[in-house]
Amino acid sequence: MSSPLTRGESPEDDVVKKFVKVFVALCIALSAFAVTGSASAAPAQAPVQAADGCYTWAGPLSEGATGDPVRQLQIRVSGYPGSGEVLGLDGTYGPATKAAVTRFQQAYGISADGVAGDATFAKIYELQDDDCTPANFDYAELNGCNSDWSGGPLSAADAKANALVSMWKLQAMRHALGDVALSVSSGFRSYSCNDAVGGAADSRHLYGDGVDLIGAPSFCTLALQARDHGFSQILGPGYPGHDDHTHVAASPSRLWSAPTCGLG
């Protein structure tokens, strides 16, 4: 129903007044939209971190943190301890772990603050498979002897766990070399397998962390690069029995010897 006209107004004047009211209301609504982004903007929601098939961290980790979440992180950044260093897997987020996380972040173009947060975990999730091995290595590759990891000086579980750490170190080494493929010729050996190939009586292959590398890059390139990735044992060309491969491992004491490569 039309509103009554006031004195002196014509029907045309009434139409104009209605138009002005509608126009003003529209302008107010458009101004509100420009400020809020929508007529009824919902509050921002924090992103939800999807669970990972291997291991999922519940939140950020930084210096001072302790426990299994820290140890799981240390395994995955064990290839970034710094030249000549080995990162302890003690579940304590100390200066060495912070430095390793920083190097990992730098290697993958993540903001390098030494704090393991969403971006760092997202990269780890991207790099690891559901069995916790890094994307470019697997348990079968590190065990050509027997699939149950038994028959050595350690329990099968411990030998397999040592192999996992070596794989993450190799993943770091591979990335540092330009994401080139690394070829493994030997990994874990039981006593019987080690005897069959003439391995040393105290070979690190018996413990699951020893790995022999062949192919490209050159043996010397592999030996020299391994210094930066947490391997305390590096044996290559010039060391007896190692002219046809480069051996890396995690021995209790350091032994680096590849005389042909200037390493020793």
- Residues involved in catalysis: 242
Burial 207-235 (b: 16+ CB within 10 A, else e): bbbbbbbeeebebbebbbbbbbbbbbbbb
What's 48's DSSP letter?
Answer: P
In sequence order, the 6+-apart residues with CB closer than 8 A to the CB of 108 are 123, 175
How far is residue 200's CA from residue 194's CA, in Å, rounded to a whole number? 8
Which distant-in-sequence residues (6+ apart) come within 8 Å of 208 by Cβ? 142, 149, 152, 154, 158, 159, 160, 161, 162, 163, 166, 187, 188
Q: H helices within 139-231, ranges in order? A: 156-176, 191-196, 219-225
Containing 101, the helix (H) or strand (E) segment is helix 95-107
d(CA 29, CA 103) in angstroms, rounded, equals 51
How many Å apart are CA 223 and CA 218, to the nearest integer?
A: 9
> Taking a C-beta distance cutoff of 8 angstroms, is the pair 194, 144 a contact?
no
54 within 8 A of 131, measured Cβ to Cβ: yes
- Distance, CA of 23 to CA of 100 (rounded, Å): 62
